[in-house]
Amino acid sequence: MYSNILRHPGPTPIPKKVQLAMSQDIISHRSEEFVKLFRETTNRVKPIFGTKQEILLLPSGGTAALEAAVVNTVSPGEEVVVVSIGAFGDYFVSICEKHGFHAHVLRKPWGEACTSEDLATFLEPLSNIKAVFVTYNETSTGILNPVKELAKVVREKSDALFIVDGVSCIGGVPVKMDQWGIDILVTGSQKAMMLPPGLAFVSVSDRAWKVIEENKTSAYYLNLLSYREWAQKGMTPNTPAITLIYGLSAACDLIEAEGFDQTVARHELMKDMVRAAMKALSIGVLTSDEYASPTITAIMAPEGINLSQFLGHLKKQYHLDFAGGLGELQGKIFRFGHMGYCFPSDILQAISLIEAGLQDFNYSFEPAAGISAAQKVFLEAQKK
């Protein structure tokens, strides 16, 4: 049986080096060996977050880390601002409302970013805002919010904490948590970090720790004070995903060998290749170039083609597996993930198979137009 070519926005392909690292013999999470592994590995993640703060590891998916960021900083009845530009911004809204927080929601149409002007105008009449929650990379639309600029607005317009969901981009985009003024930054293992699902990362500023210490959260499993206490010992409060931490060490090897600046540049290049190919094939993309995500591209259904049938055909005939649209975009777009263990050669392969599928559906285009456009972008980048 053939393996599918996974081009989803998560989970993403796992490097062989990471797979082999995870096959090592298990060790106790209370052993000296684990303490060494934990401390060395979390320290190596800090540059990826752009922080000197501790990296806390939660044995969970990214959603649990989002909930931890919420319940540790806000108490029932307090007011927050949530910026939602898609399905995962709505996650923050749901979490806040579930816990009894008063959420002021800044909604943008799906496919648009939240600008600093948008946020400044929204915050102007508000007061007593405890936290502002923003999605850095909106997986449902392929938008990268201008988090650096949004952080500056929050600092200028309020005393609120600035809390960022970086689940679908950290490891593939630039981020300077300390320098930009991000108070809590979270991500998950199964995206650009090149690991299987099951591990979440949280980093917290000194300013946010002061709020958390006074908040008296009712959380037990997601109590960040407990994670901080145990991290100081080189451990986690509960049994962690030990094999994933082995894998994380190997993933750090790969990122360090490439150089993180080059990792970021590779993601930008793959984004440009995909967008150029779709333009050459007269297939629309959802977002503008200015705010396009380096880790995922939302691609419109080719004109005259039933998208569900087309994606099913690509998977069955060519073993090429894309994600469909979510919510209001279901049936209108498909999502091309290009993050983590993905390279320009993988982009060229996927575009070639898309073209084969388009021919099968009698879509009119110049043969190899997409491949040629993507290859041109790639070759020009090599000259720089």
Report the binding-site residues for substrate: 335
**Residues 100/108, Cβ–Cβ less than 8 Å:** no
Alpha-carbon distance of 224 to 73, in angstroms, equals 10
Q: What is the maximal distance between C-alpha atoms in the chain?
A: 63
Q: How many whole angstroms from its chain centre is CA 119?
A: 21
DSSP 136: S
Cite the annotated binding site by residue number: 335
DSSP 224: H
Q: If you search the block for the tokens 């979490």, which residue do you land on?
A: 95
Alpha-carbon distance of 27 to 246, in angstroms, equals 10
How is the chain split among helix, strand and coil, in percent rounded to 5? 45, 15, 40
- Residue 34, C-beta contacts closer than 8 angstroms, at least 6 positions apart: 27, 28, 234, 235, 242
Angle between helices 206-215 and 224-231 (to 10 degrees): 120
Q: How far apart are the first and last CA of the chain?
A: 41
**Residues 51/177, Cβ–Cβ less than 8 Å:** yes
- Residue 380, C-beta contacts closer than 8 angstroms, at least 6 positions apart: none
**Residues 272/48, Cβ–Cβ less than 8 Å:** no
Alpha-carbon distance of 69 to 205, in angstroms, equals 12
Q: If you search the block for the tokens 């396009």, which residue do you land on?
A: 292
- Residue 378, C-beta contacts closer than 8 angstroms, at least 6 positions apart: 269, 273, 344, 347, 348
Q: If you search the block for the tokens 């946020």, which residue do you land on?
A: 119
DSSP 328: G
Alpha-carbon distance of 81 to 106, in angstroms, equals 7
